[in-house]
Amino acid sequence: MKRFHIALIAIIWLSANTLFAQITPSPNRAEGEGPFTQLIIRGVTLINGAGAPATGPVDVVVQGNRITQIKMVGSPGVPINPDKRPKANPGDKEIQAEGMYLLPGLIDSHAHIGGTSKDQSAEYIFKLWMAHGITSIRDPSAGNGLDWVLEHKEKSLKNQITAPRIFAYTAFGQGAKNGINTPEEAREWVRDNQKNGADGIKFFGASPDIMAAALDENKKIGLRSACHHAQLNVVGWNVLNSARAGLTSMEHWYGLPEALFEDRIIQHYPLDYNYQNEQNRFEEAGKLWKQAAKPGSEKWNAVMDELLSLDFTLDPTFNIYEASRDLMRARRAEWHENYTLPGLWEFYQPSMESHGSYWHYWGTEQEVAWKENFRIWMQFVNEYKNKGGRVTAGSDSGFIFQLYGFAFIRELELLREAGFHPLEVIRAATLMGAELLGQEKDLGSIEVGKLADMILVEENPLVNLKVLYGTGAIKLTKENEVVRVGGVKYTIKDGIVYDAKQLLADVKKMVDDEKVKRGNWTLKQPGEE
């Protein structure tokens, strides 16, 4: 979703930081232990992120912020011979992790640091991410302004704040007073964006000559790019045009059905459609995949093969559209009560003005259409992965009832629903994300030489991805007792060990404090007194 207010959505050139007050910056880090001269994680079952099956017990050794040794130390269920294990020196940190699972830190490829509700702070968002094992994010639009984002990126890199690694992709045209109106202006803006220190660009679409110039220049200087192909410009420039011109990744899905049109040029808009009416926008979008070439058709295959040949990345962000197919599920998600800030909750509610609050009258017909939309879309994404294409996991949280961290885990479940094997899901959320960022030498898998970004979970996430939710998964014990299992136990970033459950408790306290400040605010459903 764009961070922009709905009334300004067409004016995509406006810089987001001129529209919104930046959210409260992150305080200095008070959490986490380490990095350690040597950290040894003992007896863990390893899921390496690169696609290897789970294996263990292994001992993983970290020196400072790098993984230096991964040693198989035995067989499941058999006592470990201590002679086989890496030796600890006095002062080393050891985590006894028998029965636990070790995964790479997760990478949220579409993660805005804040939306438009006023009570959010960077600390709230960063801790929700870190509590869910997210150790890297790609910020698509640098909505707090590039300087703000780069300052937090730097502080995160130095571990002065509790936050994931940040990769800043500036909204195209951000800061240009009169917009970008010529290819020359586009090239100049792109070069300035690099000089300003950005990692890449987030496009929302533009006229073909400007898109072509900007992507060409960006590629030349070696930066990366993402694009949400907004419907306003998609007729002249869809995903295929972008991929040919060197775009790194498409966000969401807009522009892909349009690339697959074979019996029309323009989406079948009702004649009284208005893009600024979001019920119109999202309702009609739910009929879009049906207007594209059929799965398995010549056109379907040709488009897919060309995107594959261009090494193009799909970042589908399924979860952010889930309310479209099941509004009640998204609205009543069990974490809202404790972890959603009042202002954020209010922002989600039906409104003509808030972006992503298109619930003017959202009923059975809209949900059924969207269920079908999801089925075709998921088929494309799964086939793309099966043919070797890169698919990443991105959440786009802060809109449409999707909460930071939690929504990312939901994205993993939706990749699973699309047909990904759980190992393929984890790979999308780790190594594929690192490749998208161009960071695969350092991030994305648990291998010797890589940075120590890892998470520990007490349950097997391959069996049930829900154990990664901060609220855990529900289980009945043999004693007929209902318990919650899972939730990330430790998030390790750059060799620093964070108690993930404490981070989540901090978030709950922020929410509780805000409720008190608002006179004991309680969460109400729309239309309730």
Interaction of residue 396 with Zn ion, rule CB under 5 A:
yes
Minimum distance between the CB of residue 338 and Zn ion, rounded to whole angstroms? Answer: 25
Contact in structure between 278 and 358 (CB atoms under 8 Å): yes
In the complex with Zn ion, which residue's Cβ is closer, 401 or 490?
Answer: 401
Give me the count of residues in the chain.
Answer: 529
* Paired tokens of 368: 């059924």
Minimum distance between the CB of residue 407 and Zn ion, rounded to whole angstroms? Answer: 12
Minimum distance between the CB of residue 131 and Zn ion, rounded to whole angstroms? Answer: 21
Helical H segments across 310-363, by residue range: 322-325, 327-331, 336-339, 342-348
H or E element that contains 125: helix 122-131
In the complex with Zn ion, which residue's Cβ is closer, 212 or 285?
Answer: 285
Per-residue 3-state assignment (H helix, E strand, C coil) for 452-510: CCEEEECCCCCCCHHHHCCCCEEEECCCCCEEEECCEEEEEECCEEEEHHHHHHHHHHH
Strand partners, 72: 58
In the complex with Zn ion, which residue's Cβ is closer, 13 or 490?
Answer: 13
Contact in structure between 466 and 486 (CB atoms under 8 Å): yes
Judged by CB under 5 A, which stretch of 10-18, 236-244, 266-274, 390-398 contacts Zn ion? 390-398
Taking CB under 5 A as the criterion, which residues in 340-369 touch Zn ion?
none
Minimum distance between the CB of residue 271 and Zn ion, rounded to whole angstroms? Answer: 29
Nearest to 129 by CA among 380, 388, 339, 348: 339
Contacts of 158 (CB under 8 A, 6+ apart): none
Q: Which residue is nearest to Zn ion (CB)?
A: 396
In the complex with Zn ion, which residue's Cβ is closer, 1 or 163?
Answer: 1
Judged by CB under 5 A, which stretch of 47-55, 384-392, 394-402, 513-521 contacts Zn ion? 394-402
Minimum distance between the CB of residue 1 and Zn ion, rounded to whole angstroms? Answer: 5
Contacts of 55 (CB under 8 A, 6+ apart): 45, 46, 72
In the complex with Zn ion, which residue's Cβ is closer, 355 or 466?
Answer: 355
In the complex with Zn ion, which residue's Cβ is closer, 32 or 173?
Answer: 173
In the complex with Zn ion, which residue's Cβ is closer, 65 or 231?
Answer: 231
Judged by CB under 5 A, which stretch of 118-126, 392-400, 420-428, 520-528 contacts Zn ion? 392-400
Minimum distance between the CB of residue 256 and Zn ion, rounded to whole angstroms? Answer: 16
Interaction of residue 139 with Zn ion, rule CB under 5 A:
no
Contact in structure between 135 and 434 (CB atoms under 8 Å): no
Q: How many residues bind Zn ion (CB under 5 A)?
A: 2
Judged by CB under 5 A, which stretch of 11-19, 39-47, 393-401, 514-522 contacts Zn ion? 393-401
Binding string to Zn ion for residues 219 to 258, with x set by CB under 5 A, is what? ----------------------------------------
Judged by CB under 5 A, which stretch of 22-30, 128-136, 338-346, 395-403 contacts Zn ion? 395-403
Minimum distance between the CB of residue 4 and Zn ion, rounded to whole angstroms? Answer: 10
Minimum distance between the CB of residue 203 and Zn ion, rounded to whole angstroms? Answer: 12
Judged by CB under 5 A, which stretch of 43-51, 325-333, 350-358, 389-397 contacts Zn ion? 389-397
Minimum distance between the CB of residue 140 and Zn ion, rounded to whole angstroms? Answer: 5
Minimum distance between the CB of residue 433 and Zn ion, rounded to whole angstroms? Answer: 16
In the complex with Zn ion, which residue's Cβ is closer, 101 or 254?
Answer: 254
What's the alpha-carbon Rg for the chain, to the nearest Å? 23
Minimum distance between the CB of residue 180 and Zn ion, rounded to whole angstroms? Answer: 20
Judged by CB under 5 A, which stretch of 12-20, 348-356, 388-396, 518-526 contacts Zn ion? 388-396
In the complex with Zn ion, which residue's Cβ is closer, 267 or 402?
Answer: 402
In the complex with Zn ion, which residue's Cβ is closer, 339 or 399?
Answer: 399
Minimum distance between the CB of residue 109 and Zn ion, rounded to whole angstroms? Answer: 11
Contact in structure between 405 and 470 (CB atoms under 8 Å): yes
DSSP notation for 54-115: PEEEEEEEEEETEEEEEEE---TTS---GGGSPPPPTT-EEEE-TT-EEEEPEEESS--S--
Judged by CB under 5 A, which stretch of 46-54, 207-215, 391-399, 433-441 contacts Zn ion? 391-399
* Paired tokens of 455: 């998470």
H or E element that contains 512: helix 500-517
CA distance 13 to 236: 18
In the complex with Zn ion, which residue's Cβ is closer, 38 or 354?
Answer: 354
CA distance 494 to 66: 7
Interaction of residue 161 with Zn ion, rule CB under 5 A:
no
Give the one residue of 1, 40, 150, 333 binding Zn ion; rule: CB under 5 A.
1
> Dihedral sign, CA of 286, 319, 145, 440?
negative
Judged by CB under 5 A, which stretch of 1-9, 191-199, 261-269, 323-331 contacts Zn ion? 1-9
In the complex with Zn ion, which residue's Cβ is closer, 180 or 320?
Answer: 320
Minimum distance between the CB of residue 396 and Zn ion, rounded to whole angstroms? Answer: 4
437 three-state secondary structure: helix
CA distance 377 to 379: 5
Q: How many CB atoms lie within 10 A of CB 280?
A: 17
CA distance 312 to 244: 9
Minimum distance between the CB of residue 411 and Zn ion, rounded to whole angstroms? Answer: 13
CA distance 514 to 521: 8
Q: How many helices (H) and strands (E) does the chain have?
A: 18, 18
In the complex with Zn ion, which residue's Cβ is closer, 1 or 504?
Answer: 1
In the complex with Zn ion, which residue's Cβ is closer, 1 or 492?
Answer: 1
CA distance 472 to 421: 21
The binding site for Zn ion (CB under 5 A) comprises 1, 396
